[in-house]
């Protein structure tokens, strides 16, 4: 527990919440860490998916400009397979679609992680949004069990009755500390 003593007022300030809500500290901090990590995974997956879509798009565009791909089957004569426009859109969309969805899901998860770690009153709302987003992340198939577990845990923590009281008590202690420091 970190404590500060205001010399001129004799006020003891603690940045830890009162005892009735102190039991919520660990679940809220864990939910914040889990959302921040999942948001980072989404950011990497999103950037990678979009980069791969752009790479495939330009590779297929260059093949289309060259007239298609020339292949040889079993020592026979070379055969040229032309590419058409819909193939390029389809293949780029297979990679770019999930990449864009990952980038969109990164926003609420990172905001919820930051708000939960900073113990702000708005953390409950952002946590609920991030929990629902995490539970719906079917496009991140290899990490879906991790996203689902993170989403369910975040929703359970955010819907606990004492979480709102804990976050409000943290904000009250923060405001008292800032007022004693002359910053609030």
Domain boundaries, the chain: 23-68+82-181
Contact 31, 170 (CB under 8 A): no
Sign of the dihedral through C-alpha 100, 42, 32, 183:
negative
Which positions of the chain have pLDDT values less than 70? Answer: 1-22, 63-72, 75-76, 78-86, 140-141, 184
Largest CA distance in the chain: 94
Structural contact between residues 90 and 96, judged by C-beta atoms closer than 8 angstroms: no
d(CA 87, CA 153): 41
Q: What is residue 115's predicted lDDT score, i.e. its pLDDT? A: 92
Q: What is the pTM of this model?
A: 0.73
- The answer to whether the beta carbons of residues 70 and 120 sit under 8 Å apart is no
Distance between CA 31 and CA 115 in Å, rounded?
10
For residue 112, the model assigns a pLDDT of 94
pLDDT digits (tens, 9 = 90+) for 114-145: 999 988 888 999 999 999 999 988 876 677 88
Q: What is the pLDDT of residue 129?
A: 95
């Amino acid at each position: 527990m970190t404590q500060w003593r205001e010399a001129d007022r004799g006020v003891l300030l603690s940045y830890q919440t009162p005892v009735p809500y102190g039991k919520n500290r660990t679940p809220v901090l864990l939910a914040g860490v889990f959302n921040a990590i999942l948001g980072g995974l989404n950011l990497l997956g999103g950037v990678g998916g979009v980069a791969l879509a752009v790479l495939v798009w330009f590779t297929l565009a260059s093949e289309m400009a060259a007239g298609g791909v020339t292949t040889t089957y079993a020592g026979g004569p070379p055969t040229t397979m032309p590419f058409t426009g819909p193939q390029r859109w389809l293949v780029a969309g297979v990679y770019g679609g999930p990449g864009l969805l990952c980038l969109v899901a990164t926003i609420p998860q990172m905001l919820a992680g930051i708000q939960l770690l900073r113990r702000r009153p708005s953390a409950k709302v952002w946590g609920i949004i991030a929990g629902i987003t995490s539970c719906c992340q079917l496009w991140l198939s290899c990490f879906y069990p991790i996203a689902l577990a993170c989403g369910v845990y975040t929703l359970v923590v955010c819907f606990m009755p004492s979480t709102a009281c804990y976050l409000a008590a943290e904000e009250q202690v923060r405001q008292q500390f800032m007022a004693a420091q002359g910053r609030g």
